[in-house]
Chain A
Amino acid sequence: MDNPVNIRHPLKCFLMLAALVPLLAGCWDNKDINHRSLPVIMGISLTEENQYKVFLDIPATNETSTVNIVSDTGNTINEIIDHMSMNMETQVDLLHLKIVIVDKNFASKGMEDIISAFNRSRDISSKTLLAICDEELDQFFSKVQAKSEHSGSIVYDFFEKNAGWNPQLADTRVWQMFRSIHSYTHDVIVPIIRSGRSTSIECVGSAIIKNGRMTGRIGPDETLVANAFYGKSAFGKVEVMNSATVQIISNKLTHRSWMKDGRPYLRSHLRLKVTILDSRGHPTEEQINGKLEELLTTRLNQMFKQTQKEQADILALGQHFRNHLTREQLQDWRTTYYPDLDFKLSVTTVIENRGNLKSL
């Protein structure tokens, strides 16, 4: 076996190469890129007959228009996509889908099925962003189409970290939503958008999603605090009541958790480094710090109270009790322990610098 068979023999060599010719074609059933439609955005809503209505936003390749909106109804997402493909001159390929926009009514009924379908699917990336639409999707998409004269990717850029994203905007992907559906202690927030008056899109806060169902909403300011909690708030700007506006440079969180008599206790400490952008009048640093700390603490506490009531752990506080509770107990985290959680947050802000001016 170990003396390799002599393949230098020309005829053998030729035969082998000839046998490889069929492989040169590459992929199986390959389809030219010109014959594919690559939608960037998918909108899903429910019709009155409880059917899905799917919108696809396909950046056009010809010069007359920049965006094509296609929509269809059916019982499953895949059936609808198939149907669309049938009626179009190209094949719909969801490989590059970037954003899924879900209608608010549908979101509050529960999105578990479509999220599972996305995860099972072979061609939708689990990195796809999720958003919830505050208005009728028909209206939203027609406005987007009207406004996208120059660029077909406005909605996508709106969420892109290196384009339009702001820390006031939640950033949740399909896999995170899937995790939140199955995880015992992790819930998510999803941005709520609508078509804007002067800009094409407007963010009106975030939806609290528990087990794939929208249970409540929070405003953009609270989303910023939640993002600070996730460690994603850098460059977020906070307006401190009537006295200044500061920008968050970095944040650091420490936690201490314990159980006492079956009740969970959590003390968190958020350290923010900020820089002053704007000031009205001449407040002192202490005043700004004090007001900022108070503002953030109240905002977070308010949000915490709300989510506690809805039993949706969007800050993933249950994660800190993994060491204290067994897996069976963690399973009941949302229902038994979380509403009972004693959570106190202290915020310390440090003013890193005051820009170019020495005094406020």
Chain B
Amino acid sequence: MDKKGYQATILYVICHMGLIFFLYPSDMFSGMDTGHWIGISISYALHAAALYMYMKGLKWAAQPNVVDMFRSTGKYLAWILLLPAFFYFGIAIIVTLRAYSEMLTLVFLSSTPLWAVQLLLIAIGFLMAWQGMSSMARTSVLLVVLFMFPILFVLCLGFQNVDWYYLLPLIDREQTFHFIAKPDFLVSLFVYAGGSFFLGLLPPSIHISLKKMMLGCLLLLPMFFLSVYLPLLTFGQATAELYQFPMLMTIDTVNITWLLFDRITIFFLLSLMAFALMYLGVTLWVLATLAQKAVPNVPGIYLLIALTAGLFAISLAIPNWNYLKNLQVLIIPLRLYIFLVLPLITFLIGWRHKHKANRATEVT
């Protein structure tokens, strides 16, 4: 169907868009006081490099997916390498579910109980994952068509209240790189870590084009900056760090009298929610696919149901927001592993494959 690699790129962009605008700015504001662009640039550059290595490794290995590729190096190595990924994605789903349902109740469903929102979110994610990757990839194209315009519209209007002086100082005289080791900054890497692993599990019908992927990655760069700098320019660091969801507060300050609707936050939120649901679906699908590889004799649908039910139960069991924050801090090593180490390993294995193949062709 899709020979040009658009679907994979769109899926990748959507998964990240669904994450960027919510938890990222608040983590950045608590992680850094000044010079936020340095932090964004560093983590973005690492992400772009990791993405490139991951895809290059996959391409070289010429294996259908990352599990088979790891298996080719050793039976147990695949287990050891992928088990952390499995755990990480499980926790990522729990965090997303919980944080997003909390946010939805905060913004407009104030009388709806949390569990109902969580159930709805995971049910939609489950349905998506059930239908498989190719249907999700097609859906993602539709979502872009439907929701990209409202999002861009709201983002443009978000500049209404900016005070450009808050941009200064670009580099503080006392700027240090201590922030890199700060838990808050490491937690902010959440947005980078989860949205590209699925590329290694795509079925052969969906192609990946390295060039388009990198272009998609480049498209995300302004989004990372906007998500942090719109609140910063509107409120300033001292106020922005007080908000749980700075981006939503920024959109809330936009005042347009000619628009039919009083608050445009809901447009923004719902459009991004559609993207976040896509992320949930994709991540659930990744988990189910990994589980399927591990236990091939159980039908996939049962695994998916079991996973969904388990994750839902765990996300219900989380008592409060602080607990969620602690959870995010606890999985920092796992996150760094997914963020940097796994792409690096993929790259190395791919590189070895390529060399082997080269030698093989030389011999024959």
Q: Is there an interface contact between A28 and B112, defined as CB atoms closer than 8 Å?
A: yes
Q: Is B191 an interface residue (CB 8 A)?
A: no
Q: Is B116 an interface residue (CB 8 A)?
A: yes
* Residues of chain A lying within 8 A (CB to CB) of residue B120: 23
* Residues of chain B lying within 8 A (CB to CB) of residue A4: 130-132, 134-135
Stretch at the interface among B42-50, B178-186, B251-259, B341-349: B251-259
Q: Is there an interface contact between B112 and A29, defined as CB atoms closer than 8 Å?
A: yes
* Residues of chain A lying within 8 A (CB to CB) of residue B130: 4-5
- Nearest B residue (CB) for A16: B127
Q: Is there an interface contact between B235 and A179, defined as CB atoms closer than 8 Å?
A: yes
Q: Is there an interface contact between B169 and A322, defined as CB atoms closer than 8 Å?
A: yes
Q: Which residues in window 164-206 of B have CB below 8 A to A?
A: 165-166, 168-169, 172-174, 203, 205
Q: Is there an interface contact between B163 and A1, defined as CB atoms closer than 8 Å?
A: no
Q: Is A175 an interface residue (CB 8 A)?
A: yes
Q: Which residues in window 130-176 of B have CB below 8 A to A?
A: 130-135, 163, 165-166, 168-169, 172-174
Q: Is there an interface contact between A1 and B292, defined as CB atoms closer than 8 Å?
A: yes
Q: Is there an interface contact between A123 and B110, defined as CB atoms closer than 8 Å?
A: yes
Q: Is there an interface contact between A327 and B33, defined as CB atoms closer than 8 Å?
A: yes
Q: Is B34 an interface residue (CB 8 A)?
A: yes
CB distance from B308 to the nearest CB of A (A): 14
Stretch at the interface among B4-12, B93-101, B236-244, B326-334: B236-244
CB distance from B212 to the nearest CB of A (A): 22
* Residues of chain B lying within 8 A (CB to CB) of residue A125: 252, 262-263
- Given the known interface contacts A1-B285, A182-B239, the answer about A175 and B131 at a Cβ–Cβ threshold of 8 Å is no
Q: Is there an interface contact between A327 and B253, defined as CB atoms closer than 8 Å?
A: no
- Nearest B residue (CB) for A326: B174
How does the 8 Å CB contact mask read for A177-188 relative to B, with 1 for contact and 0 for none? 011001110100
CA distance A3 to B131 in the complex (A): 8
How does the 8 Å CB contact mask read for A120-162 relative to B, with 1 for contact and 0 for none? 0011011100000000000000000000000000000000111
Q: Is there an interface contact between B173 and A326, defined as CB atoms closer than 8 Å?
A: yes
Q: Is there an interface contact between B168 and A323, defined as CB atoms closer than 8 Å?
A: yes
CA distance A323 to B301 in the complex (A): 59
- Nearest B residue (CB) for A19: B123
CA distance A316 to B163 in the complex (A): 10
- Given the known interface contacts A2-B203, A3-B132, A5-B301, the answer about A183 and B238 at a Cβ–Cβ threshold of 8 Å is yes
CB distance from B247 to the nearest CB of A (A): 13
Q: Is there an interface contact between A96 and B112, defined as CB atoms closer than 8 Å?
A: no
Q: Which residues in window 204-257 of B have CB below 8 A to A?
A: 205, 235-239, 242, 249, 252-255, 257
- Nearest A residue (CB) for B163: A319
Choose one: B107, B110, B236, B262; the contact of A183 (CB below 8 Å).
B236
Q: Which residues in window 277-299 of A have CB below 8 A to B?
A: none
CA distance A319 to B236 in the complex (A): 10
CB distance from A242 to the nearest CB of B (A): 38
CA distance A160 to B256 in the complex (A): 11
CB distance from B2 to the nearest CB of A (A): 14
* Residues of chain A lying within 8 A (CB to CB) of residue B112: 27-29
Q: Is there an interface contact between B253 and A173, defined as CB atoms closer than 8 Å?
A: yes
Which of B172, B238, B249 lies at the interface centre, i.e. has the most chain A CB atoms within 10 A of its CB? Answer: B238
Q: Is there an interface contact between A126 and B252, defined as CB atoms closer than 8 Å?
A: yes
Q: Is B106 an interface residue (CB 8 A)?
A: yes
Q: Is there an interface contact between B238 and A184, defined as CB atoms closer than 8 Å?
A: yes
CA distance A122 to B98 in the complex (A): 18
Q: Is there an interface contact between B249 and A326, defined as CB atoms closer than 8 Å?
A: no
Q: Is there an interface contact between A179 and B239, defined as CB atoms closer than 8 Å?
A: yes
Q: Is B111 an interface residue (CB 8 A)?
A: yes
CA distance A352 to B196 in the complex (A): 58
CB distance from A353 to the nearest CB of B (A): 29
- Given the known interface contacts A2-B203, A319-B165, A326-B172, the answer about A127 and B239 at a Cβ–Cβ threshold of 8 Å is no
* Residues of chain A lying within 8 A (CB to CB) of residue B292: 1
Q: Is A320 an interface residue (CB 8 A)?
A: yes
- Given the known interface contacts A1-B292, A126-B253, A322-B165, the answer about A178 and B239 at a Cβ–Cβ threshold of 8 Å is yes
How does the 8 Å CB contact mask read for B271-313 relative to A, with 1 for contact and 0 for none? 0000000000000010011001000000011001000000000
* Residues of chain B lying within 8 A (CB to CB) of residue A319: 163, 165-166
* Residues of chain A lying within 8 A (CB to CB) of residue B135: 4
* Residues of chain A lying within 8 A (CB to CB) of residue B205: 2
Q: Is there an interface contact between B203 and A27, defined as CB atoms closer than 8 Å?
A: no
Q: Is there an interface contact between A1 and B238, defined as CB atoms closer than 8 Å?
A: no
Q: Which residues in window 310-337 of A have CB below 8 A to B?
A: 316, 319-320, 322-323, 326-327
Q: Is B77 an interface residue (CB 8 A)?
A: no
CB distance from A81 to the nearest CB of B (A): 14
Q: Is there an interface contact between A122 and B253, defined as CB atoms closer than 8 Å?
A: no
- Given the known interface contacts A125-B262, A319-B165, the answer about A29 and B252 at a Cβ–Cβ threshold of 8 Å is no
CA distance A167 to B253 in the complex (A): 20
- Nearest B residue (CB) for A98: B262
CA distance A323 to B34 in the complex (A): 11
Q: Is there an interface contact between B253 and A127, defined as CB atoms closer than 8 Å?
A: yes
- Given the known interface contacts A28-B109, A29-B112, A326-B172, the answer about A126 and B165 at a Cβ–Cβ threshold of 8 Å is no
Q: Is there an interface contact between B257 and A320, defined as CB atoms closer than 8 Å?
A: no
Choose one: B113, B116, B134, B239; the contact of A2 (CB below 8 Å).
B134
- Nearest B residue (CB) for A331: B238
CB distance from A244 to the nearest CB of B (A): 33
CB distance from A20 to the nearest CB of B (A): 10
- Given the known interface contacts A2-B132, A5-B301, the answer about A323 and B236 at a Cβ–Cβ threshold of 8 Å is no
CB distance from B71 to the nearest CB of A (A): 18
CA distance A278 to B254 in the complex (A): 37
Q: Is there an interface contact between B249 and A175, defined as CB atoms closer than 8 Å?
A: yes
* Residues of chain A lying within 8 A (CB to CB) of residue B134: 2, 4
- Given the known interface contacts A4-B132, A323-B169, A327-B172, the answer about A122 and B110 at a Cβ–Cβ threshold of 8 Å is yes
Q: Is there an interface contact between B300 and A1, defined as CB atoms closer than 8 Å?
A: yes
Q: Which 9 A-B pairs have the closest CB atoms?
A: A28-B112, A319-B165, A322-B168, A29-B111, A182-B239, A2-B132, A179-B239, A1-B300, A323-B168
Given contacts A1-B133, A2-B134, 9 further A-B pairs with CB under 8 A are A1-B288, A1-B304, A5-B131, A122-B106, A160-B257, A184-B238, A322-B168, A323-B168, A327-B33
Interchain Cβ contacts under 8 Å between A and B, 15 examples: A1-B132, A4-B132, A5-B131, A28-B109, A28-B116, A29-B111, A122-B107, A123-B110, A126-B249, A175-B253, A179-B235, A182-B238, A182-B242, A326-B172, A327-B33
Using CB atoms and an 8 Å cutoff, list the residues of chain B in contact with chain A: 33-34, 106-107, 109-113, 116, 120, 130-135, 163, 165-166, 168-169, 172-174, 203, 205, 235-239, 242, 249, 252-255, 257, 262-263, 285, 288-289, 292, 300-301, 304
